[in-house]
Chain A
Amino acid sequence: MKTRFIVTIGLAVLLSGGLALQVVAQDPAETIKKRQDFMKDFGGYAKAINEYLEKGVGTPEDVKAKAAEIKEESAEIPSLFPAGTSMDDGVGKTAAKKEIWDKPDEFKAAAENVGVLAGKLEESAASGDKQQIADAFGALGKDGCGGCHKTFRAKLD
């Protein structure tokens, strides 16, 4: 009896835990928070790289590491935008335009472009040449970040 009781409780706990996890994954507010934090991280990387270029803070090695982070993490971008989490869905304060879901291929390509351009920045950082780094960072910012924001993100505040 006792064993059965424990097994039942155990199953119930597992089941409810699983359900809770699923609820968390589907909660648009959580999704929005998660991707905003994700993008703030990207902003932090960009700011740090810019500090190196404008003020000489850090080294090309630091830039290379940040570029590698951006390259790797950018692959997650499409998964951060599940259906039903646009600014028109009324699920929270988000700047995600419905174009993300209207043009999924274009959105995916824009996200992939971030990875490609971050890869180029990584290579230029490896060279250590400041002008090359500046050019590659400019392209990543303008065409990568800006290229995606141009079509898919609204201004909020």
Chain B
Amino acid sequence: MIRARRRIPGGFAAALFFSILAADDVQAATDPAQLERGAYVFIAADCQACHTDVKNKGAPMAGGRALATPFGTFYSPNITPDPETGIGGWSDEDFVRALREGVSPDGDYYFPVLPYPSYTRMTDQDIRDLKAYLFSLPPVTQANKEHEVDFPFGWRFTLGPWQWMNFTAGEFVPDPAKSQVWNRGAYLVQAPGHCGECHTPRGWLGGIDEDYALSGTPDGPDGEKVPNITPDKETGIGGWEKADIVRVLRTGMLPDGDFAGSAMAEVVDTSTSKLTDADRDAIAEYLLSLPPIENPDAKATKPGSAFD
């Protein structure tokens, strides 16, 4: 009897303890500081650009935007917290695994059209903050559209070997020999900013060719040319000042007075124009520090070129 009596308060204490934990969890999910951080990661990772079908006036983050690639047309999925058609049922671990490993909660491999080969370099903190922010957005019920992928790339089971050949998971490791600003720039470019997904050429299997990192490609998304953003004097941005890079990120204006178009105009609009000045500076510093790579097939704008 005495034992039983003792058990009751013990169980009650445990229940109380867990309910406090649960309350803590709820609080964590709506922690304003975390949401603010997540909102910024969301901008730096430019989730909106692909996950909102702006052209057809789609609901924010409900997906459905078509992305034409050499491998077929992909339609972005719904990433609103709708439990049925979005990611509302995902745990934090599911979300981390998706971005870090390119694997869905069901264990399916994602097509690398989701830039997880870049997002894998994001910090755990950034990924978790991002998830918290996405879960604070209004849920939208909209079923995902099937990709239209060319044979044989549509076979998802081929994506396992693809990952093995083309992908290494793992967080960005700062270089202690470099400045904090440089490391911040490198992180933004390589991880959330996923610049290389468009600016780095891909091999015939669609893997990013790191030997030519950021040197541009004539076969970018939607079949468009993407310029060389390494500091090569002739074909890249070697003739640009740091301020030219900062300006194009802030306003889209190129050194010759032209304004970037196509996908980069979107990137400027939804991402880089909303970054902090310090972050734009860091990106510029990092880009100008890269080894110059010559690529005549995808030239960058030369300063003043339009008015020669």
Residues of chain A having any CB pair with chain B under 8 Å:
39-40, 42-48, 50, 54, 95, 138, 141-143, 145-157
Contacts and interface: CB of A to CB of B under 8 A. Distances in A.
Given A142-B251, A156-B225, A157-B299, A147 B256 contact: no
23 contacts: A43-B306, A44-B307, A46-B257, A47-B257, A47-B307, A48-B257, A50-B253, A54-B243, A95-B261, A141-B252, A142-B259, A142-B269, A145-B258, A146-B259, A146-B265, A149-B262, A150-B269, A153-B262, A155-B227, A155-B261, A155-B262, A156-B225, A157-B225
B259 A145 contact: yes
A147 B265 contact: yes
Interface in B249-308: 250-253, 256-262, 265-266, 268-269, 273, 299, 301, 306-307
B305 to A, nearest CB: 9
Nearest to A148: B261
Interface residues of B, number: 27
B249 to A, nearest CB: 11
B124 interface: no
Contacts of A95: 261
A95 B251 CA distance: 21
Nearest to A150: B265
A47 B306 CA distance: 11
A48 B242 CA distance: 19
B252 A142 contact: yes
B261 A150 contact: yes
